[in-house]
Structures are given as C-alpha cells and as structure tokens.
A = this chain, B = another copy of it.
C-alpha cells in the first residue's frame, strides 16, 4: 500500500514540511498518490531518501542533489554522469574528514593549553597571567 508522509518523516528524520518541500523542489522525484491524493511512499523512495540524506548531511547543496535526482529519472544512460557526481562528492567528504581531523587536533592543543593556564593561575592565584589565551 505504501507509507504515509508521517511514517516517512519518522523513518528519515525529515519533517513532513521538508519532504513536501523536497518534492516541490525536485530533490525528491514526484511521489505516488493514493485515491485521496495523499502521498504514498514506496521502498524505492525510502532508498533514495536515504541516499539524499547522506548527500545532504555530508554537505551537498540541495541544488546539486536535485541534479543527481533528475539524472536518476532519466535512466541508465546517465549512470556515468551520476557516478562522476558521486565521486566528486566523495572527494569532498574525504577532504573534509582530513580537515576536521586537523582541527580536532588543533582544538585539543588549545584545550591542553587552557588546562595548563588554569593550573598555573590556581597554584599562583596572585598572578594575572594570560594575555593571549584565545
């Protein structure tokens, strides 16, 4: 029979507002309707929504996801193009991972530095150290 918008909202973590917005914007392909005109999602929709969430959550802009979904609708002939899009995005993700790892370390050093300053001032409370403890 298919799933209601509410069910899909719960499964995907996207609000019903967002799901309708995505369909309107072409981020989701047109969803099937039941006899009352209500959206009726199927398992393929769930698969695609899961991929869309993955792309979105790793920073792909909505406009680009839309492009990917449009290619999907065009069929198998667009597979190389879609694969290229994914490969480019994967590179982006891997670049971000590296970047985040660097910054995680940098923040760690800052935390350690703050700790050392805290110990210093607590053992020598009269001294007002720290001029550049940003």
- Please report A residues at the B interface, Cβ cutoff 8 Å: 44, 47-48, 51, 54-55, 57-58, 72, 75-76, 79-80, 82-83, 86-87, 89-90, 93-94, 96-97, 99-101, 103-104, 106-108, 110-111, 114-115, 117-118, 121, 128-130, 132-134
Contacts and interface: CB of A to CB of B under 8 A. Distances in A.
A72 B133 contact: yes
A133 B114 CA distance: 51
A128 B97 contact: no
Most chain B beta-carbon contacts within 10 A, residue among A47, A89, A110, A115: A110
A82 B97 CA distance: 25
A89 B44 CA distance: 36
A100 B58 CA distance: 6
9 contacts: A44-B134, A47-B132, A48-B134, A51-B134, A76-B121, A86-B111, A87-B111, A89-B107, A96-B100
Q: Is the interface of A mostly helix, strand, loop or mixed?
A: helix
A69 to B, nearest CB: 8
Contacts of A100: 58, 93, 96-97, 100
The 10 closest A-B pairs by CB, nearest first: A76-B130, A83-B114, A48-B134, A90-B107, A93-B104, A54-B103, A58-B103, A97-B100, A79-B118, A86-B111
Contacts of A51: 110, 134
